[in-house]
Amino acid sequence: MTVSSAYCPPSDPLEILHHDSQILVVNKPAGLLSVPGKGAHLSDCLISRIQAVFPEALLVHRLDRDTSGVMVFAMTAHAQRHLGLQFEKRMTKKAYVARLTGKLEPRSGTVDLPLIVDWPNRPLQKVCTETGKPAHTDWKVISYGADETRVRLHPKTGRSHQLRVHMLALGHPILGDPLYASGAALEHTRMMLHSEELRLKHPEGGVSQKFRAKAPF
């Protein structure tokens, strides 16, 4: 079992982006688990903090502990089913911002590499063309910096650690990634990956909605 680092969740107050009778949208801080881990020391998480204020809130999807950004929660069982199907059928549209090591070229492209858990080193994931599940990520360069690249990532699938492993496979791991980066790329206060935008259909009426939270880096 690979342990990335000690769990020291941030004390940031809840940042609510949208709230109505069916959905709750928040900006998750980096360093906070979406759901509880195993053991009392991993009990503090976003869903527990939300349910302390909104007891009826239900989980729909997750973000990695070290990823920040837009997450949606359901406020009713109907909304949970409705949103869950949208994620399952890939009807939602997601956009992430990341800072990568080195200069990623060309300026846009697609990663089409199947992924599977790396069992001896879990929770790490790995590319496996024989047994991996299909995983697709589009990328577009936003800007270049001093030996780094700022990109916008659009995952077409939702595999565990997909963006992190796909960027590693391109030879440009995400800066500050405690699992997949190494050397100087680890010298950051957080992992430079943020869920910037989520588009979905509202469970009540089916109107398309877009929620955004600007990257804090």
The residues assigned a catalytic role are: 64
- The torsion angles phi and psi of 87, rounded to 5 degrees, stand at -65, -45
202/79 Cα distance (integer angstroms): 8
Residue 141, judged by CB atoms within 10 A of its CB (0-12, 13-18, 19+), counts as: middle
Tokens of 172: 């440009």
Return the residue matching tokens 């997949």. Answer: 180
167/75 Cα distance (integer angstroms): 34
116: which strand partners? 126
Number of Cβ within 10 Å of residue 208's Cβ equals 10
